[in-house]
């Protein structure tokens, strides 16, 4: 019965989209073909699109309702594929797929660039002190951990202790590598001041990459 309703909604949407470029809507499927690099690239851009951070509560409810109408075959006439794709993009950007709860804005995938960029800038600041190095590495790993937790697979609950262990391991290894490399660079007497400054700019990369899976 549900398949019949969905088919009816798809037919209605297709009829309304005869003159548009949007592909036929598929509930729960990516808008762009995943068989090519360009398609996967456009899909990724859709996921991290920061414009979804400004979606109002009313617009979110409308998007969710539109998808529910499509699912149950009660889609109103005139709804386009573009509207359906937009509604799905909004829902997937804001609501957790398993819990259906809103993801805190800084930890959404669409918030990764606006909230993560200041952290990256902080990691790359020149002439950092020990305190600033520790702070930026801690903040970066904390942000990554929160993003991973907020977007976790909630259908398979994991104990909080496992998350805490992973978080502490990431912070300790990142801070240790960053501080250790900075000390080594400072003690490298053969480096000119310019070379030392240049090498220090690359210290955050192995520190951050140490916990990438």
Confidence class of residue 162 from pLDDT cuts 50, 70 and 90?
A: confident
95 forms beta bridges with: 102
Q: Which residues contact 60 (CB under 8 A, 6 or more apart)?
A: 90, 91, 94, 95
Burial 75-90 (b: 16+ CB within 10 A, else e): beeebbbbbbbbbbbb
Residue 213's pLDDT band, with cuts at 50, 70 and 90, is very low
- Residue 178 is predicted with a pLDDT of 86
The neighbouring-strand residues paired with 102 are: 95
Q: How confident is the model at residue 60 (pLDDT cuts 50, 70, 90)?
A: very high
pLDDT of 194 reads 72
> Quick check: 161 and 133 in contact, CB under 8 A?
no
Q: Tens digit of pLDDT for each residue in 41-59? A: 999 999 999 999 999 999 9
Residue 69's pLDDT is what?
96
Question: What length is written for the chain?
Answer: 213
Q: Are 27 and 48 in contact (CB under 8 A)?
A: no
Give yes or no for residue 39 having a pLDDT over 90: yes
**pLDDT at residue number 3:** 53
DSSP string, 43-99: HHHHHT-GGGGG--HHHHHHHHHHHHHHHHT-PPTT--HHHHHHHHHHHHHHB-TTT
Asked if residue 106 lies in contact with residue 150, where contact means CB atoms within 8 angstroms, the answer is no
Report yes or no: 101 and 116 within 8 Å, Cβ to Cβ.
no
Q: Is the pLDDT of residue 200 over 50?
A: yes
Phi-psi region of 202 (alpha: psi -120 to 50; beta: other; left: phi over 0): alpha
In angstroms, rounded to a whole number, what is the distance separating the alpha carbons of residues 23 and 151? 27
Q: What is the pTM of this model?
A: 0.77
Instruction: Tell me the two tokens of residue 91.
Output: 């829902």
* pLDDT band, very low/low/confident/very high, at 19 (cuts 50, 70, 90): very low
> Residue range 104-132: average pLDDT?
91
In this prediction, what percent of the chain has a pLDDT beyond 70?
82
Are the C-beta atoms of residues 133 and 182 closer than 8 Å to each other?
Answer: yes
Q: How far apart are CA 36 and CA 82, in angstroms?
A: 21
- Average pLDDT of span 97-123: 94
Write the pLDDT tens digit of every residue in 172-195. Answer: 999 998 888 877 777 777 777 777
What's residue 18's pLDDT?
43
């Amino acid at each position: 019965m549900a398949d019949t309703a969905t088919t009816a909604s798809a037919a209605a949407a297709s009829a309304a989209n005869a003159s548009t470029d949007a592909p036929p809507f598929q509930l729960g499927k990516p808008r762009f073909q995943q068989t090519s690099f360009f398609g996967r690239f456009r899909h990724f851009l859709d996921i991290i699109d920061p414009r979804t951070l400004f979606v109002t509560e009313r617009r979110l409810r409308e998007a969710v309702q539109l998808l529910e109408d499509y699912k149950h075959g009660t889609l109103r006439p005139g709804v386009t594929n573009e509207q359906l794709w937009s509604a799905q993009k909004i829902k997937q950007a804001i609501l957790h797929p398993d819990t259906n709860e809103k993801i805190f804005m800084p930890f959404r995938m669409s918030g990764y660039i606006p909230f993560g960029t200041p952290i990256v800038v902080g990691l790359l600041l020149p002439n950092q002190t020990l305190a600033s190095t520790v702070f930026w590495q801690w903040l970066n790993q904390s942000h990554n951990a929160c993003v991973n937790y907020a977007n976790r697979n909630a259908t398979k609950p994991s104990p909080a202790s496992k998350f805490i262990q992973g978080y502490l391991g990431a912070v300790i290894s990142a801070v240790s590598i960053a501080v250790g490399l900075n000390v080594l660079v400072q003690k490298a007497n053969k480096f000119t001041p310019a070379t030392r400054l240049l090498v220090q700019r690359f210290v955050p990369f192995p520190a951050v990459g140490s916990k990438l899976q």
